[in-house]
Amino acid sequence: MLMVADLDYILKRAVSEIISESELRTLLASGKKLRLKEGFDPSSPDIHLGHMVGLRKLRQLQELGHQVVLIVGDWTAQIGDPTGASVTRPILTAEQVKANAETYLQQFFKIVDKSKTEVRWQSEWFGKFSLADVIKLTSRFTIAQMLARDDFKKRFESNRPITITEFLYPLLQAYDSVMVEADIEFGGNDQKFNLLVGRELQSMIGQQPQQVFMTPILTGTSGIKKMSKSLNNYIGVAEPPEIILGKVMSINDDLIIQYFELLTDINDAELAEFTSAIRSSAINPMRLKKRLAQEILLQLYTEAEAREAAEHFERVHQRRELPTEIAEYRVSFSSLISADDSNVDIPSLLVSCGLIGSKSEAKRLISQGGVAIEGEKIKVDKASLTNGCVIKAGKRGFIRIINAD
């Protein structure tokens, strides 16, 4: 039997708002196997720790015997962003959607129990939609209701365009809830309007309105904006353990408590101790970050893999030793050297071997002292290389250069 303290933990910890909490508590006490809806946009194949906040809630409720229903937004992903203003909602082909979704699902099931998850694709119902169905759906809502959404309201008041298609997205998401008969829908607190539309549409057609379960938005590693791949301030759940640990160690100290609260199960008393210790400078924040990284890794990887990542960090970053395994990159040295210069263009090399994404990024890193050859930082873009030398780029990038001549 679920204890009240356990239920309070699920409904209070890492929760932004629940509509309606009293109704949800009644449902959870009823013994009914609830259908927990979570939708995702397969415009990107990767999940990061920001997504993990809500996925942990799904897992907690799964462990109480409830059913997760994962909606793959394959139909809306092929529409894209009608304004052309969003880089996170590009138009995708059916093949791209399927490829992204398969990768996403693999990562999703690192956190959520696959055996207790029902996967549904929007195209199951929207693939059969006719114009009459679209008109019938849109007739249930008014323009005034749509303009109640904050971003729509601001754009309308500033005379910026809003396409009719944009108004459709909340309705399509709501229709998903109708088709899977969702009891609870989960999302970030920035999704409140869309989640409430689903609740309203269900009531209109005679279904029990879904409960709306919103989780906080996790701040990205830069400490300013929300975690996002497009902002390059994310920690991916499928990244290697040593990369995840390294990124956690690099977060600002003022994010430590937020990450503990939203991403781990340490108890509230211990969380309060950590908060007090940070405020009084009674503990080195690095110790807490190491603990945080381990708590996160143990949810995604085995204990041995988490331990190896910690040992790698201490060896490479604290004792300044080289990793035990360094990838090799074979290249003809003669192809890197111009006729009038015996030095190698390092930015080009860093891009070609995959350590850096662009030459401009590589040049910036060099100017900041972030590139070293055999342990010696370089300040210029060209340098001489020896066969088997190790180049380090940034805090975690290592490559051994092998002369293929």
The per-residue pLDDT for range 237-248, each reduced to its tens digit, is 999 998 899 899
Tell me whether residue 199 is exposed, middle or buried, using C-beta atoms within 10 angstroms of its C-beta: 0 to 12, 13 to 18, 19 or more.
buried
Q: How confident is the model at residue 382 (pLDDT cuts 50, 70, 90)?
A: confident
CA distance 110 to 98: 19
Tokens of 141: 């809502």
| 382 is a domain residue | yes
Q: pLDDT by residue (tens digit) across 141-194?
A: 999 998 988 888 888 899 988 888 888 888 999 999 999 999 999 999 988 999
Give the H or E element holding residue 67: strand 67-72
Q: Does one domain contain both 22 and 153? A: yes
CA distance 196 to 171: 10
Tokens of 18: 């629940």
Q: List the CATH number of the domain containing 9.
A: 3.40.50.620
CA distance 250 to 174: 39
Amino acid at the residue 323: P
Tokens of 318: 């604290």
Q: List the CATH number of the domain containing 373.
A: 3.10.290.10
CA 200 to chain centre: 28
The per-residue pLDDT of the chain, averaged, comes to: 87
Q: What is the DSSP string of 253-292?
A: GGGHHHHHHHH----HHHHHHHHHHHHTT-S-HHHHHHHH
Residue after which a domain boundary falls, among 281, 313, 345 = 313
Q: Hey, is 187 helix, strand or coil?
A: strand
Q: List the CATH number of the domain containing 305.
A: 1.10.240.10
Residue 330: which residues within 8 A CB-CB, separation 6 or more?
A: 402, 403, 404
Tokens of 157: 């008041």
Residue 162: which residues within 8 A CB-CB, separation 6 or more?
A: 152, 155, 156
Q: Does one domain contain both 201 and 274? A: no
CA distance 319 to 311: 10
Nearest to 393 by CA among 405, 404, 378: 378
| 334 is a domain residue | yes
Q: Does one domain contain both 195 and 272? A: no
Predicted confidence (pLDDT) at residue 83 exceeds the cutoff of 70? no
| 297 is a domain residue | yes
pLDDT for the residue 26: 94
Alpha carbon distances (Å) from 229 to 159, 273, 320: 30, 32, 29
Predicted confidence (pLDDT) at residue 90 exceeds the cutoff of 70? no
pLDDT for the residue 255: 95
Torsion of CA 256, 259, 265, 268, to 10 degrees: 50
Q: Does one domain contain both 142 and 285? A: no
Q: Hey, is 308 helix, strand or coil?
A: helix
Question: 371-373 and 376-377: which strand pairing?
Answer: antiparallel
What average pLDDT does the segment 284-305 reach? 94
Contact 297, 248 (CB under 8 A): no
- Number of domains comprising the chain: 3
Nearest to 386 by CA among 404, 362, 403, 371: 403
Contact 259, 248 (CB under 8 A): yes
Q: Does one domain contain both 189 and 338? A: no
| 260 is a domain residue | yes
Q: Rank 44-58, 76-90, 152-166 by mean pLDDT and report only the highest.
A: 44-58
| 304 is a domain residue | yes
Residue after which a domain boundary falls, among 199, 215, 231 = 215
Out of 47-61, 245-259, 340-354, pick the least confident: 340-354
Q: Does one domain contain both 169 and 85? A: yes
According to the annotation, is 229 in a ligand binding site? Answer: yes
Q: Does one domain contain both 259 and 207? A: no
pTM score > 0.95 for this model? no
Q: Does one domain contain both 147 and 37? A: yes
| 229 is a domain residue | no
| 103 is a domain residue | yes
Q: Does one domain contain both 200 and 256? A: no
Q: Does one domain contain both 15 and 100? A: yes
| 221 is a domain residue | no
Q: Does one domain contain both 78 and 161? A: yes
Amino acid at the residue 92: L
Contact 121, 74 (CB under 8 A): yes
CA distance 156 to 163: 11
Domain residue limits at 160: 4-215
Out of 20-24, 62-66, 157-161, 376-380, pick the least confident: 376-380
What average pLDDT does the segment 383-403 reach? 83
Q: Does one domain contain both 298 and 352? A: no
pLDDT for the residue 86: 47
Q: Hey, is 378 helix, strand or coil?
A: coil
